[in-house]
Amino acid sequence: MRILIVEDDIALASFIRKGLEAEHYAVDASSDGEQGRTMALEFDYDLLILDLNLPGIDGLAILKSLRQRKPSLPVMILTARSRVEDRVQCLDMGADDYLVKPFSFLELSARARALLRRCHLPSESVLAVRDLRLDRVERRVERSGRRIDLTTKEFALLEYLMRNVGRRLTRAMIIEHVWNLTFDSTTNVVDVYINYLRRKVDDGFSPALIHTVRGVGYELGPNGAAA
């Protein structure tokens, strides 16, 4: 799952981002209100963590825009404003949660999981291809009932492959969606991580699910592809 943090305290945003990435979430961050609003509206996120005091436009303006155009996107307000009036205003405007700074990361993480569970149907949270299951909320991967431990990037890569099951994905598509980078033809990072995944997801299981498509890239599916 992908989370957007809009927070002008760069050190705090980095702290939150590292913590969430350690729990296998894909995380983007913006320190500017206008840029943050654009990212939230133009890209697909599963959760927005939003500060109120931002340069450009404030968090309330972002929240208002989101509720007009993306009413189902879960929003957690993260702010130093502790007055009851501020909490009530944000919740009445459509915020799903409100956490006051300073905070415990463990609490933020638990609140994020609760929002993701509440705002996503079970069918949306769990991806399955044959005996391979990926739980996007609990950040768990299993094959044939056996738990598979993945790094953050391996998890993000497998999630992208499973969300596009049966679709031939180019290396450029993969690197853009998983690494948020423009494709560089000199890099083999996609191939390296595909090999990491194959060792964990396919080795020792049958059938193989991750396939190379000659001249194109990769495909995940039960039926195979051109090697």
pLDDT in tens, 38-52: 999 988 888 999 999
- pLDDT (0 to 100) of residue 44: 82
Phi, psi at 14, each rounded to 5°: -65, -40
- pLDDT (0 to 100) of residue 208: 93
Question: What parts of the chain have a pLDDT lower than 50?
Answer: 226-227
Residue 172 CA, chain-centre distance (Å), reads: 19
HSE on the CB side for 128, CA within 13 Å?
A: 9
**Alpha-carbon distance 124 to 148, whole Å?**
20
- Same fold yes or no, 2-119 and 123-220: no
Q: What are the domain boundaries of the chain?
A: 2-119, 123-220
- pLDDT (0 to 100) of residue 146: 95
- pLDDT (0 to 100) of residue 182: 61
pLDDT in tens, 164-199: 889 999 998 898 888 866 656 667 899 999 999 999
- pLDDT (0 to 100) of residue 43: 85
Give the angle 130-155-216 at the CA atoms, nearest 5°.
75
- pLDDT (0 to 100) of residue 227: 40
CATH of 2-119, one of 2.20.25.90, 3.20.20.70, 3.40.50.720, 3.40.50.2300: 3.40.50.2300
Question: Any bridge partners for residue 119, and if so which?
Answer: none
Query: 123-220 has which fold?
Result: Arc Repressor Mutant, subunit A (1.10.10)
- pLDDT (0 to 100) of residue 226: 43
pTM of the model: 0.66
